Amino acid sequence: MTQSQVTQVLRREAWSKETDSRIADLCTYLETYLEPDQIKEIYRAYLFGAQLHSGQTRKSGEPYICHPLAVARILSEMQLDYKCLIGAMLHDVIEDTSASKEKVTEEFDAEIADLVDGVSKLTKIDSVSHAEAQADNIRKMLLAMTRDIRVILIKLADRLHNMRTLDVMRPKKRRRISSETLDIYAPIANRLGLNHIRLELEELCFAAAWPMRHRVLLKSVMTMRGNRKELMTHIEAALQQGLKDEGITAIVQGREKHLYSIYRKMRDKKLSFTEVVDLFGFRIIVDSVDTCYRTLGIVHNLYKPVPGRFKDYIAIPKANGYQSLHTSLIGSHGVLVEAQIRTEEMHEISESGIAAHWLYKTEENSSGAAHAYASDWLKNLLDLQREAGNSMEFLEHVKVDLFPDEVHVFTPKGGIKVLAKGSTVIDFAYAVHSDVGNQCVAARVDRQLVPLRTKLLSGQTVEVITSEGARPNPSWLDFVVTGKARASIRNYLKNMKSQEAVDLGRRMLERGLEAYGLTIQEAEADGISSLLVDFKLNSMNDLLEKIGLGDRMALLVARRIAGDRKLPQDEEPYPTQSAQPLVISGTEGMVVSFAKCCRAIPWDDIVAVFSPGKGIVVHRQGCPNLGEFRKQGENWMDVRWVDQTEGEFTTEVGVEVGSKRGVLATVAASFAEMESNIENVVIEERDGLSSTLEFTVSVRDRKHLARIIKRLRALPEVMRITRMMG
């Protein structure tokens, strides 16, 4: 046997002893809270997993079974149930071994198999990129989490151990994994109240992604810690004595701000290390909520509070159920410190979150703020899943909802809604219910009417005004913040656009078939299944939608349907000019749009151009951009206005005026008098004596525009008026 082989044998023996020691240590610890029969099942799962992973090693060289064993140990410290620990012990067997979900079910049970399958990555993904593959896997995991919260607990423990052993990876891969962890897993841990996991993940990611910055910052903190150690000891003793003098029994713990928190504050607020003042703080744990508020008064008597730095998370908990009183104090020698005051139960929830209440049990056995907030978030995830178009979009919405900053606003009946920082009235409406958001037309904030894009502040009371005929506006996507609002709006607009496209496609196909003496009903009766197969479509509605969106030409489809029928009038290849124009009202929705280059309004002479995926775009006759399209008969069509139009349309008017104080206000007032709304105005100086005002205004039709122009011409300041094109 060679020296190398001897070394390998000795190493395997060493790892084997280490693994035996770890499983023995785990079983000993489990005896503190599990039944003997349950511990035996966990040990049986260990043997089952070790056999399946036999021969597999990690990058570090240790046997692969060491990883599941470490994951189970992390979860055991949260005192989770035995089935969760078995799921942790087997969490990689479906993904990395020959075992199937059915095999796990046979050996253990369906509940454990579901846990293992929920954590396992998708093995067959037809994704075009690593990002899409990751999005698909995260989507699968999060949906499994909505059925059983233990899935995400296992995944977080798995990610935590992987981060602890990340040193063996290449620098590029370390940075990628750290970035993903900071983007997804640390925020999920925070959202579920798993504070100890979140903090360790952030610290490990910081050290792996920015090792130099981590070392420099750690050195600075160590230096400052040495300089202030005596001072912090003095403040801690003063707090202990002050509470004791008032008859309050409390645990006072000194704490340091974590390195990643310091780094993020320096980066976000562009501060130097010396400008970060709240590096140290104290946690005061008491017996009841009433004692928390009494303690706050005592602390404020001992040290002056900093105005504006008090937060009551007991009355209004954070989105993850976290509760505490936060106050900033000016300690000895002017040092700024933070004090967190909470009960023992609040402290347990702040560290363990949902795990503190074993949320995977029945609803009756679960309690506490963490449970309620986590349940709300899980329901929200299901809403996002239903309304998201694909995994990348779903992940985008989830990331938005993982932002930690939040505002607390009230419903008219006194209920509290927790929203992401920067949320608007529309975000609030969708937080109440998707139907409320879809039908929102106005809102009152603290009894005052406000625009829908108004950003909300904590403490405000919001009342949403709805209308049955209302529907979401695509422009809302420009300012909404929450994932639920964005997903709901996109989903509604997508469905609305689909129906509008079907309606328009039906009208266009009917018009095309008229030239052959056919109707849609006759075409469907004759059967168009072969046509649908050729176009790879499932139904007639799918075909009509494609026509309405401009992806299929109605005239060419009509020709395919007509077959050997001849045109009754002539042999024009495209019966566009001979057929009756398509009648439009301007209210067809998103599948009929008006080109911004010429801004057509009712009673203009118009023509339409096909735009694949969007429908038809309406231009004014004579628009310079139509030149190329007129050479392609299949890409344009005649249209005309319906006899009676409704609504308002946008057009542009150029007004040349003499340079005079107040002239803009005078012209704008004239538009208002004529019931026209100004959407935009651009001022162009000409020669110092005159200026051109380019107005984008809303009008009802050409007659309305003519009355406006007549009114403007009566103004002495106006020298010339033109309707702009291009």
Give the residue with greater pLDDT, 155 vs 361.
155
Mean pLDDT (whole number) for 286-315: 91
Task: Report the C-alpha gap between 675 and 368 in whole angstroms.
Answer: 56
CATH 3.10.20.30 occupies which residues in the chain? 369-490
Those residues whose C-beta lies under 8 Å from the C-beta of residue 197, and which sit 6 or more positions away, are: 156, 157, 160, 189
Told to judge if 687 belongs to the known catalytic residues of this protein, a careful annotator would answer no
Half-sphere exposure of 392 (CA within 13 A, CB side): 7
> From the candidates 18, 37, 62, 96, which is the catalytic residue?
96
Between 18 and 312, the higher pLDDT residue? 312
CA 634 to CA 577: how far, in whole Å? 11
CATH 3.30.70.260 domain span(s) along the chain = 649-723
What's the CATH superfamily of 3-211? Hypothetical protein af1432 (1.10.3210.10)
pLDDT, tens digit (0-9, with 9 covering 90-100), for 307-349: 888 889 888 888 777 889 999 988 777 778 889 999 998 888 8
Record the pTM.
0.63
On whether the CB atoms of residues 95 and 123 are closer than 8 A, the answer is yes
pLDDT number for residue 573: 46
Buried b (16+ CB within 10 A) or exposed e, 594-631: bbebbbbbbebebbbbbbeebbbbbbbeebeebeebee
Q: In a 3-state reduction of DSSP, which class is residue 306?
A: coil
The single residue of 77, 92, 95, 158 carrying the catalytic annotation is 95
For the chain, give every residue range classified as CATH 1.10.3210.10: 3-211
217-356: which CATH topology?
A: Beta Polymerase; domain 2 (3.30.460)
The CATH number assigned to the domain with range 649-723 reads 3.30.70.260
Task: Give residue 358's pLDDT.
Answer: 47
In the predicted structure, residue 509 carries a pLDDT above the cut 50: yes
CATH code 3.30.460.10 region(s) in the chain: 217-356
685 is catalytic: no
Tell me the residue type at 471.
R
Work out the widest C-alpha separation in the chain, in whole angstroms. 108
Compare 210 and 128 and report the one with higher pLDDT: 210
Q: Given this model, what pLDDT does residue 67 score? A: 93
- C-alpha–C-alpha distance, residues 191 and 194, integer Å: 8
What value does the mean pLDDT take over residues 420-447? 90
Quote the tokens at residue 499: 């129906």
Give residue 353's region: left, alpha or beta (phi > 0; psi -120 to 50): left
Interaxial angle between packed helices 66-76 and 3-30, expressed in degrees from 0 to 180 and rounded to the nearest 10: 20
pLDDT, tens digit (0-9, with 9 covering 90-100), for 531-583: 777 777 878 888 888 887 777 777 778 877 776 555 555 444 444 444 567 78
For residue 596, the model assigns a pLDDT of 86
CATH code reported for the domain at 369-490: 3.10.20.30
Mean pLDDT of the chain: 81
